[in-house]
Amino acid sequence: MAKRDYYEVLGVVRTATAAEIKKAYKKLALELHPDRNPGDASAEERFKEASEAFGALGDEQKRQIYDRYGHEGLASGGMQPGFGNVDDIFSTFQDIFGDVFGFGGGRARRDGPIRGGDLRAVVALSLAEAAFGAQKEVTVQFPSPCAACEGTGAEGGKLTVCPTCRGAGQIAHARGALFLRTTCPSCRGAGRTAAKGCPECHGDGEVPVERKVKVAIPGGIDEGQSLRIAHQGQPGVRGGPAGHLYVGIQIEPDPRFQREGNDLVCELKVSFIRAALGAKVKVPTLDGEVEIDLPAGTQPGEALRVRERGIPRLDGRGRGDLLCLVRVEVPKKLSAKAKKLLLELQDTFDREG
């Protein structure tokens, strides 16, 4: 079944501001939240659909790609929003659900599964790799739950009830007639503390881990864009899903070309004689040299367009163009014979002009 338009899903116009999009999603999240619609599969699917729509339109970069290329543009760039389950949605948009539903923002218990954190990495590409795609490998480093203590930070995994909050995970503060609850600073909301620190992780509950991840770079990607590699982030806790890996794109300068969107611009140096008479000239492209016609009378600064020799579009719909900016070279030194011929040519121009 074809995906619905994201703006239609959220019930906003295409010119809606970021604040209006966020407000619309909050309203739908409140209406469709699974805890408010127990056993209603239709409401849960609409909840997932709305979250996917907000995942695209709530991100400025993804929204620009969606506005220009639609669902296919996000999918081909590896940026299609998607969630494995409802808890994944709560973890991704925990700030939203914290605002809507108060403390905690979702359904997870203190001792329940916790989604792993997202990781970020950067990959450097040549212009050709960015244009045609590539397979890259990135190294990510992150803290992982200690296997010796199962992430508890306690030797043998033995925990005791936190004496500060007495296992509640929160402590209350009186503010006049009001009582405010905050996370317990001793157990950080866990409700339990280590009887004795784990010697492997020194009580941290985590150890540093390094992992290599293969990343498929789609052709047509541009500087500053990022790819979302699902579930390749930090592992979850107590059976929770892994976070995601976001790979930022950097493109190394190419001495031959400047990139302008999907078009490439290069400099074409020609002699003034060829510019005047016209000629067949070779120009560089990402696919190798091609021969083009230099029209007679070409002026300095003119742009010669070579169709479909630029950057492939991210959505797979053709390529940009190559623009060759003509630079007419004037020799700094001339032989006596060359000077004589140029003077004769100048006399001819003067008589004909």
CA 198 – CA 353 distance, rounded (Å): 94
Query: Does residue 64 sit within a domain?
Result: yes
Give the torsion through C-alpha atoms of 103, 106, 111, 117, to 10 deg: -100
Listed residues 108, 128, 160: the one ending a domain: 108
Rounded to an integer, the average pLDDT of 332-348 is 87
Nearest alpha carbon to residue 127 among 227, 266, 247: 266
143 belongs to a structural domain: no
Whether 148 is covered by a domain: the verdict is no
Q: Which residue has the tokens 């997932």?
A: 48
Number of structural domains, the chain?
A: 2
Provide the total of helices (H) and of strands (E) in the chain, helices listed first: 9, 15
3 state SS of 86: helix
Answer with the one of 108, 131, 147 that is the final residue of a domain. 108
Range of the domain at 307: 258-352
CA distance 290 to 273: 21
Give the least confident one: 73-87, 126-140, 327-341.
Answer: 73-87
Q: Which of 58, 91, 108 is the last residue of a domain?
A: 108
- Residue 52 predicted with pLDDT over 70: yes
pLDDT digits (tens, 9 = 90+) for 115-166: 788 899 999 999 999 999 999 999 998 888 788 887 778 888 788 888 888 8
Per-residue pLDDT at 347: 85
pLDDT one-digit tens code per residue, 241-268 = 888 899 999 999 999 999 999 999 999 9
Helix (H) or strand (E) run with residue 305 in it:
strand 303-306
CB of 157 within 8 A of CB of 195?
no
Judge whether 233 lies within some domain.
no
pLDDT over 80 (residue 6): yes
Q: Which residue in 140, 149, 118 sits closest to 238, CA to CA?
A: 149
Query: Would you say residue 65 lies in a domain?
Result: yes
Does residue 337 lie in a domain region?
Answer: yes
Order the strands of the 303-306 sheet from edge to edge.
258-260, 263-271, 322-329, 303-306
What local confidence, expressed as pLDDT, does residue 106 receive? 45
CATH number where 71 lies? 1.10.287.110
13-22, 278-287, 294-303, 340-349: the lowest-pLDDT one: 340-349
Q: Is the pLDDT of residue 105 over 50?
A: no
Share of the chain above pLDDT 70, in %: 86
The yes-or-no verdict on residue 104 having pLDDT over 50 is no
More confident residue, 277 or 114: 277
Residue keyed to tokens 């006049």: 176
Distance CA 126, CA 223 (A): 11
Give the model confidence (pLDDT) of 271-284 as tens digits.
988 999 999 999 99
Rounded to an integer, what distance in angstroms lies between the CA atom of residue 248 and that of residue 149? 34
310: number of CA atoms within 13 Å, CB side? 26
Q: Are 10 and 54 in contact (CB under 8 A)?
A: yes
Q: Is the pLDDT confidence value at 7 over 80?
A: yes
Give CA 169 to chain center in angstroms. Answer: 36
Q: What is the CATH number of the domain that holds 290?
A: 2.60.260.20
In a domain, 326, yes or no: yes
Q: How many CB atoms lie within 10 A of CB 338?
A: 11
In a domain, 191, yes or no: no
pLDDT of residue 44: 86
| Of 14-23, 62-71, 188-197, 230-239, highest mean pLDDT | 14-23
The pTM of the full predicted model, rounded to 2 decimals, is 0.59
